[in-house]
Structure 1
Amino acid sequence: MSNHDNSNSTNDREESMSQVTGNPGSSTQKRDATSRPVSSNSLSDVTSARLSKVGTPNTLATGLEARGIHAWFGKKHVLEDISLDFFTGTVTALIGPSGCGKSTFIRTLNRMHEFIPTAALAGQVILDGKDVYDSGVDVTKIRLKIGMVFQKPNPFPSMTIKENVLSGLKLAQIKIENSDELLESCLRRAGLWDEVKDRLSEYGGALSGGQQQRLCIARSLAVNPQVLLMDEPCSALDPGSTLRIEETIRELSATMSIVIVTHNMQQAARVSDYTGFFLSDGGPGRLIERGSTNDIFTNPKEKRTEDYVSGRFG
């Protein structure tokens, strides 16, 4: 993993708070004007077995659009000309070797990369017909609409389970009429209610790793996002917890667009409708190919994509 990817990971707890406060920390961002790969046969079996609801791009509503994204950290050009549409009601997986810019890219979608002081960006991210980087845009509102779940579960340690779920609403000063009803709804959608309904006054840090991650998902859901970004949400979890998170992802995708970064080819095949393959090849990260997950894993157009998903490198 690149140094920039590592620096992103170490700020996860701070970022989870700022996701709803809208405070980009000390960033001075500038804007340009203008698990081990497995065999393709087994991946084919997985993609064929998964019941995807994916349609054609012409029949799906676009939830989020990235247009010509370039990103830098200082003088280092880390992303080059990335354009992707993310459709409502679908899951898009981003795959590729460590250090190719996947995590950086999803953080540009809700301006979380701005926590790196030397960050700079050119291009557009369109949500509801507006560029989230336009001057005067309220970053708090952007991060409410485009939520994020990080690689390492990061519940607030001094808050109870209930307080964790509702923390985003409080920090964003959003008033609700029935907090208990919302609490139960979010925990149910995150697949956690039955496990914690009698423990709501306990601290979130007392939960298992998988439960903590689902608690973080519930926290993101409380502010009713249109898009949910997930940066390797299962990499630190056991297989059972991973399965529950994947089930939650598929259920949640019925009502929003989900973007997930993963190094696990089987996971990408199981949960996603679309897949984008990133590669840096010694330079800035680029989007090599994007298509339906079934096509990417069984009939990719690019040889580099085929080599990666078949385990020849990466």
Structure 2
Amino acid sequence: MGTGLEARGVHAWFGKKHVLEDISLDFFPGTVTALIGPSGCGKSTFIRILNRMHEFIPTAALAGEVLLEGKDIYESGTDVTKIRLRIGMVFQKPNPFPSMTIKENVLSGLRLAQLKVSGEDELLESCLRRAGLWEEVKDRLGEYGGALSGGQQQRLCIARSLAVNPQVLLMDEPCSALDPGSTLRIEETIRELSSTMTIVIVTHNMQQAARVSDYTGFFLSDGGPGRLIESAPTSQIFSNPKEKRTEDYVTGRFG
């Protein structure tokens, strides 16, 4: 299996504070990788590094490499806009554009990137179907995105990410603000999408990690910078981890 996305020896800082230390992890096409660990151990920082959002934060610094199909996305001269089209991001809090219609929201990434597509209506339907939202909104595409429920807004954000046809989709706790029913719909969407792309999800929900992911990485900071303690197929992390600290965390002894 070829590697879609690879982190190699990644370190991160905010000012003088060292927040991530020497993280190396591979993400494979057609799979979901869950990143778990207590709050404050650097999971969200790490996922933002994977599509160059870390650098938006003043004082943020970085060492190491992030390779997409073997090419370092931090290499000088890299077009960051193109990177973010190939590596999409869905945030913890749904963030549709409230003054845009449902249709405009889905197609907004194409507009921003000045990408022309033939068959906009087909693309719109396809993205909404893949995000599990089409049947609920097909008769209200002209309504504002902000009028949808929280779970629907999150699926709208997923549809918006899909419109530019990313290879990788990063999701930073996409269900933490949602009710159980909406969470289940998003989990179904993640599983369906994973057949066509690489998905990385940060979650605090152990059951969710066990349900949706093929691989799991466990992060821990122990008072210092966040480190990757163990990564393995999800079934192994939850049933037979190598590290006692991983076992303690997934069984709820701490964290």
Query: Could you tell me the TM-score, scaled by structure 2's length?
Result: 1.00
Deviation of the 1:74 alpha carbon? 0.3
Deviation of the 1:177 alpha carbon? 1.0
**2:218 match:** 277
Deviation of the 1:312 alpha carbon? 0.6
One-letter amino acid matched to 2:61: A
Matched, 1:119 2:77: no
**2:149 match:** 208
Deviation of the 1:115 alpha carbon? 1.4
Equivalent residue of 2:75, what SS? coil
Aligned partners of 1:287, 1:190: CA distance in 2, in Å? 31
Aligned partners of 2:54, 2:10: CA distance in 1, in Å? 13
Give structure 1 stretches of 5+ with no counterpart: 1-59
Aligned counterpart in structure 1 of residue 79 of structure 2, from 125, 133, 138: 138
One-letter amino acid matched to 2:32: V
**2:32 match:** 91
Aligned partners of 2:249, 2:142: CA distance in 1, in Å? 46
Give structure 2 stretches of 5+ with no counterpart: none
Equivalent residue of 2:245, what SS? helix
Equivalent residue of 1:62, what SS? coil
Aligned counterpart in structure 2 of residue 188 of structure 1, from 129, 146, 150: 129
Deviation of the 1:61 alpha carbon? 2.0
Deviation of the 1:230 alpha carbon? 0.2
Q: Kindly report which structure 2 residues correspond to 1:160-309, keeping only aligned pairs within 5 A, or say none.
A: 160-309=101-250
Aligned partners of 1:143, 1:268: CA distance in 2, in Å? 25
Aligned partners of 1:188, 1:254: CA distance in 2, in Å? 15
1:91-142 Cα offsets, whole Å, 9 max, x none, are: 0000000000000000000011111111000000000221000000000000
Identical-residue share of aligned pairs (%): 89
Aligned counterpart in structure 2 of residue 80 of structure 1, from 21, 30, 52: 21
Aligned partners of 1:211, 1:159: CA distance in 2, in Å? 15
**2:254 match:** 313
Query: Could you tell me the TM-score, scaled by structure 1's length?
Result: 0.81
Aligned partners of 1:163, 1:104: CA distance in 2, in Å? 30
Give the conservation status (yes or no) of the 8 Å contact 2:3–2:69: no
Deviation of the 1:171 alpha carbon? 0.4
Number of aligned residue pairs: give it: 255
Aligned partners of 1:201, 1:114: CA distance in 2, in Å? 35
Aligned partners of 2:62, 2:94: CA distance in 1, in Å? 28
Deviation of the 1:187 alpha carbon? 0.2
Q: CA RMSD in A?
A: 0.4
Aligned partners of 1:61, 1:197: CA distance in 2, in Å? 37
